[in-house]
Structure 1
Amino acid sequence: MKGEHFLVAFAFCILASSFASAYDPSPLQDFCVAINDTKSAVFVNGKFCKDPKLAVANDFFFSGLNIPRNTGNQVGSNVTLLNVDQIPGLNTLGISLARIDYAPNGGLNPPHVHPRATEILLVLEGTLSVGFVTSNPDNRLIEKVLNPGDVFVIPLGLIHFQLNYAKTNAVAVAALSSQNPGVITIANAVFGSNPPINLDVLTKAFQLGKNEVKNLQKQFGGNNK
């Protein structure tokens, strides 16, 4: 039954993305399968394109998105992104797909942004609290609790998150309006940058003491001394 639900969700997300306004350049041919061979390819939208006559079914295929992922990490979530790097046939088509697994009792997809994509999220299993924050000056939190079959939209470039506060695992599928949406996880980017952001910047921006900032940088891989 879960496998059937996953197939329905997959079809839903692809259909939803097809009606969205893609932010990637529109294709001028049927497809442009990405390839690393530069000798006999044309460079289009960040990727080289295979001769269309040489395209095969596997260029447009991925298997195994129904398999649960390991959530035994610090935040208790795992994102499996299918972008142009996993499915070369997505090149120039302006869509991608992700499966997100959440551990029970606090599994979190932490606050992050997709700089190049709007997201539409479908919950398959479990209960998730999902939200995003509007831009300055309001910074208003828009949040809702979602159950299986519920859908939530995250506008382009806004900070958003998902939290599983239930006692069971949760699974969601997200469609994104870019072949390569990108992701910036806020805490990792701010406190784990390489080289580290100047302490004076972070202490003033977050109204924290230098020792507090240093501790956060250690947790997220920064190296300020």
Structure 2
Amino acid sequence: MTTMKAFSLLLAALSISLCSAQTTLDMNDLDFIPEVRQRSLFTAAGFIYKFETVTEKTVWGDLRTMFVNVNPSLATLPGEGAAQNLVKVGPCAINQPHNHPRATEISHITEGELLFGFAEENGGRPFIGGNATKGQTVIVPQGVIHFAQNLGCKQAQFIASFPNRDPGTQTTASTFFRLPLSAIRATTGLSEKEIQKIMKSVSGNVNPSLDLVCAKRCSMAY
């Protein structure tokens, strides 16, 4: 067998192998979907959707995500893609302080009024915030800790959009108390007994949670 013929056979075998790999590609590998699969994913079922997957839910509100793990067609979009959340915040409730490490957030209020606020990085302004009402839009820079709080007695709702198919969410309080006890103790100056008490309170106060002072003002049962 000549060298050229052997090389041709090797290329043919490699081509068959690559085609087979694309045919059997695990669809959970959302960061690499061949173009032919992209076209099949981006159907009517893929680009027209409802916020059906509830990520967080309490009696005070709920958070419904449309990230790439919920809708694989988002993986077909160019660049970093896009994602959205639909957030319902009940009377006197809060979407707890958190950050999105991989994306800026642009939130449009569709119902009620919300106090949006965030803290800048070290050396920046300690707090920036204000009330946003139905029809207004709020911009939250990537990575900063922020929240949306309903201080009124009626339900509020907003849609949060992200220029990333997987912006990530890191809830501040619960994340901090996942650190080793020695780190929490040294940071807070609290005793182990005091820390355990706060940890228990934080773990039991799931998101969205209620502001008891506001609830009393609105004559809410809780």
Do Structure 1 and Structure 2 share a fold, with TM-score over 0.5?
yes
Higher mean displacement: 209-218 or 129-138: 209-218
Of 102, 107, 110 in structure 1, the residue corresponding to residue 89 of structure 2 is: 102
The Cα offsets for residues 150-176 of structure 1, whole Å up to 9 and x where unpaired, read as 111000100000000110000000101
Structure 2 counterpart SS, 1:204: helix
Alpha-carbon distance, 1:204 to partner: 2.2
- Does residue 112 of the first structure (1) align with residue 112 of the second (2)? no
Higher Rg: 2
Alpha-carbon distance, 1:56 to partner: 5.0
Q: Is the 8 A contact 1:71 1:102 kept in 2?
A: no
| Alpha-carbon separation, structure 2, partners of 1:47 and 1:200 | 38
| Alpha-carbon separation, structure 1, partners of 2:173 and 2:202 | 7
Alpha-carbon distance, 1:70 to partner: 8.8
Alpha-carbon distance, 1:80 to partner: 0.7
| Alpha-carbon separation, structure 2, partners of 1:187 and 1:205 | 14
Alpha-carbon distance, 1:206 to partner: 2.2
Q: Per the alignment, do residues 214 and 67 of structure 1 end up closer, same or farther by CA in structure 2, a change over 3 Å counting?
A: closer
Q: Which amino acid aligns with 1:130?
A: F
Q: Which amino acid aligns with 1:80?
A: R
Of 70, 82, 93 in structure 1, the residue corresponding to residue 66 of structure 2 is: 82
Alpha-carbon distance, 1:48 to partner: 4.2
Structure 2 counterpart SS, 1:180: coil
- Does residue 166 of the first structure (1) align with residue 152 of the second (2)? yes
Q: Is the 8 A contact 1:72 1:103 kept in 2?
A: no
Q: Which runs of 5+ in 2 are unaligned?
A: 1-20, 205-222
Of 121, 132, 140 in structure 2, the residue corresponding to residue 154 of structure 1 is: 140
1:23 aligns to what? Answer: none
TM-score by length of 2: 0.70
| Alpha-carbon separation, structure 1, partners of 2:55 and 2:97 | 20
1:26 aligns to what? Answer: none
TM-score by length of 1: 0.69
Q: Is the 8 A contact 1:42 1:48 kept in 2?
A: no
Of 189, 192, 196 in structure 2, the residue corresponding to residue 210 of structure 1 is: 192
Greater percentage in helix: 2
Alpha-carbon distance, 1:203 to partner: 2.0
* Matching of residues 32-43 of structure 1 within 5 Å: 40-41=24-25
| Alpha-carbon separation, structure 2, partners of 1:54 and 1:176 | 24
Of 30, 36, 47 in structure 1, the residue corresponding to residue 31 of structure 2 is: 47
- Does residue 200 of the first structure (1) align with residue 182 of the second (2)? yes
Structure 2 counterpart SS, 1:111: strand
Higher mean displacement: 63-72 or 206-215: 63-72
Q: Is the 8 A contact 2:42 2:76 kept in 1?
A: no
Q: Is the 8 A contact 2:33 2:76 kept in 1?
A: no
| Alpha-carbon separation, structure 2, partners of 1:169 and 1:69 | 19
Q: Is the 8 A contact 2:102 2:168 kept in 1?
A: yes
Alpha-carbon distance, 1:38 to partner: 7.3
| Alpha-carbon separation, structure 1, partners of 2:49 and 2:28 | 26
Alpha-carbon distance, 1:67 to partner: 11
Q: Is the 8 A contact 1:45 1:92 kept in 2?
A: no
Structure 1 counterpart SS, 2:58: coil
